[in-house]
Amino acid sequence: MRQITFFIMALAAMTMIAGNPVKAVDRNNLDPNTAPGNNFYQYACGGWMLNNPLDPQYARFGTFDQLRENCRDQVKDIITTLGTSNPRGSLKQKVGDLYAMGMDSVRLNKEGMAPLTEAIAAIKSQNRSQFASAIADQHKGIGDPFFNSAVMADLKSSDDNMLYLMQGGLGMGDRDYYLDTDANTVKVRNAYSNYIQQLFQLIGYKKGNAKKAAQHVMNIETELAKVAMTREDTRDYSKLYNLTTLAQLKADYPNINWDQYFNTLNIKNIEKLCVFQPKSLAKVNEMLKNLKEEDVREYLIFKYVDAAAPYLSDAFTDANFDMYSRAMSGQQMKMPRWKHSLDVPNTLLGEAVGQLYVEKYFPADSKKKMQQLVNNLKKALGEHIATLSWMSPKTKVNALVKLNSFTVKIGYPDKWRDYSKLDIDPGKSYWENILNARRFQAEYEYAQLDKPVDKERWYMTPQTVNAYYEPSTNEICFPAGILQAPYFDPNADDACNYGAIGVVIGHEMTHGFDDQGRNFDHNGNMIDWWTAEDAAKFQELADKLGAQYSAEIVADDVHANGTFTMGENIADHGGLRVAYSAFKNTDQGKGNEMIDGFTPDQRFFLSYANVWAANITKEEMLRRTKLDPHSLGVNRVNVAIRNLEEFFKAFDIQPGMKMWRDPADRVIIW
């Protein structure tokens, strides 16, 4: 439900990479052989792409990833200096030991599948009467067999937490991987079937039995895929908000032992809950009655082993990489062990690492300067709302109330997470410790059900290179990790900062008014505060914007999905327009002084384009088109900017040029 803008999906203007100063608009990033009016993305980013060929350890690598790598190096510098001789129970001990265990390849290869033995034996001993407990056990931080559950704010009562049941169980992440028949999808599906078989063989199944088990798993996941809601439909909260009571849940899905399920999760006193996708849960109810017990056990075993595979011996990690990175994304080489090992404490003990991170890498004045930028963007967005021709005065008032009610979180939380009850024991296996940390987090999440929504909570760690908008709390959040060069540099000119972090700010603000965010009021409740006429006009403009993206070819004959990416496209659109307006209120924006041969407006658009400079494999483009609600970088530039008259003026784009878009075909939403 969180409108997280995963800028893997990314952002960045060039000013400083890994501490090496470069110009905010670096001419080395440009392709002088391409005219801006022919292909602006290639013109602005072609030099960067030529100078940064894709490293085989990545499926996609761009300017965002450079910042991410810089941040990773910063975290590495912190964690590798902790050592393994810290007082037991201290944050430094937990972080340091967890990293060290991941680095111990000798021990991991010696242990092989041993860390899994007990859990596999337990699953093999279970029968139909115990499956609900087995499913719930994996929902505590391991995986999502058959379906999933989570505690989040009630969509219509944002102060109260509620339990949600949602579709799950698909190892490849999306229904289309099981149902589509194009060549790439078939290739990925075959690789997945082989991977399942390989895991069964690694845990001791003979080849023939492993092949049969893999087919049983594929059959289950394919049946789940057939009834799964489409990506497009999951964007419609009105289709997801299906309230029920515990008694009705038991009546509707009687083959799932709900008392057993909730007892395993330690959830009590459920008055109401929400079933996001009833058809999917109905299929699970049917399967748990009709499937052979052995088929269910094999499926549960695979889901468990699949979750553990990245943290075991080389045989398991290689198989996992070959499936999820090589086959799905086109990545050719595993990342160094230290990167994977670092990511574990950086994720599972995120705020513990974050405390150390902000002490060293987040200057106090950055928060103040960022707040000023946010205020400037809020003012600009307010001015845009006030002058919209398609929105009525009544809806404008409500929109401005929502905008002025935004909670802004910058840098790091005021209250840090308590990890004192989490035990990291180097005497246990790496997987056991990871599992312990995951269960610790899952128990924390489910325990929120009995508490009011924590409005002070952060849903990203401070060291995250990212940003998000959360509709239930009407908040925008910018962690410290993204508030550094090249996104945010106090030494860069305004054109570059507004073209980079300014668009990020505007993007997140506009999420409050995209096709999903607009359904929530200033208090975070799902309430229709639009007039019917305004809603219809908004949808007409949104559909027109979506069609612009859907017209683009991703790879082969596959088109982009402008409906699935609608929210992010609207946010890009709004972020660009609002950031540009805020920039024009600066002294530099009001003038026309050339810097290094570029006008202020040209520097703004070049900085924005450099945010998306990247090289990417065809497989990764196709994977992201199925799974990622963000458009590909080239479309986030070439499609988005062609709705701004100011872009055409800045680079003298004329009719007849490929980048030209007739005024009648342009879209202005915000």
Using CB atoms within 10 A of its CB, is residue 110 exposed (0-12), middle (13-18) or buried (19+)? exposed
- 327 and 200 inside one domain: yes
- 72 and 117 inside one domain: no
Domain closes at, from 291, 320, 348:
348
Range of the domain at 37: 3-77+360-415+456-665
Distance CA 612, CA 610 (A): 5
- 332 and 296 inside one domain: yes
- 131 and 248 inside one domain: yes
Distance CA 2, CA 473 (A): 10
Distance CA 454, CA 458 (A): 9
pLDDT digits (tens, 9 = 90+) for 599-650: 999 999 999 999 899 999 999 999 999 999 999 999 999 999 999 999 999 9
- 331 and 375 inside one domain: no
Residue 558, in any domain of the structure: yes
Domain closes at, from 290, 321, 348:
348
Distance CA 137, CA 240 (A): 25
- 118 and 211 inside one domain: yes
- 127 and 44 inside one domain: no
Token pair 């009630």: residue: 154
- 120 and 47 inside one domain: no
Are 337 and 102 in contact by the 8 Å Cβ rule? The answer is: yes
- 365 and 327 inside one domain: no
Residue 617, in any domain of the structure: yes
Q: What is the pLDDT of residue 1?
A: 47
Domain closes at, from 299, 328, 348:
348
Are 370 and 410 in contact by the 8 Å Cβ rule? The answer is: yes
Residue 88, in any domain of the structure: no
- 579 and 494 inside one domain: yes
Residue 272, in any domain of the structure: yes
- 160 and 203 inside one domain: yes
What letters, b where the CB count within 10 A reaches 16 and e where it falls short, cover 89-100?
A: eebbbbbbbbbb
Residue 488, in any domain of the structure: yes
Distance CA 21, CA 18 (A): 9
Q: Which amino acid is at 510?
A: T
pLDDT digits (tens, 9 = 90+) for 516-575: 999 999 999 999 999 999 999 999 999 999 999 999 999 999 999 999 999 999 999 999
CATH number at residue 341: 1.10.1380.10
Q: Which amino acid is at 148?
A: N
CATH number at residue 397: 3.40.390.10
Instruction: Report the percentage of the chain scoring pLDDT > 70.
Output: 96
Q: What is the pLDDT of residue 24?
A: 67
- 473 and 574 inside one domain: yes
Q: What is the pLDDT of residue 23?
A: 55
Provide CB contacts within 8 A for 57, sequence distance 6+. 331, 332, 333, 334, 335, 336
Are 491 and 556 in contact by the 8 Å Cβ rule? The answer is: no
Residue 426, in any domain of the structure: no
Residue 91, in any domain of the structure: no
Largest CA distance in the chain: 75
Ranges of residues in the chain with a pLDDT under 70 are 1-24
Which DSSP symbol is given to 499? I
Q: What is the pLDDT of residue 488?
A: 84
pTM of the model: 0.92
Q: What is the pLDDT of residue 368?
A: 85
How many domains is the chain built from? 2
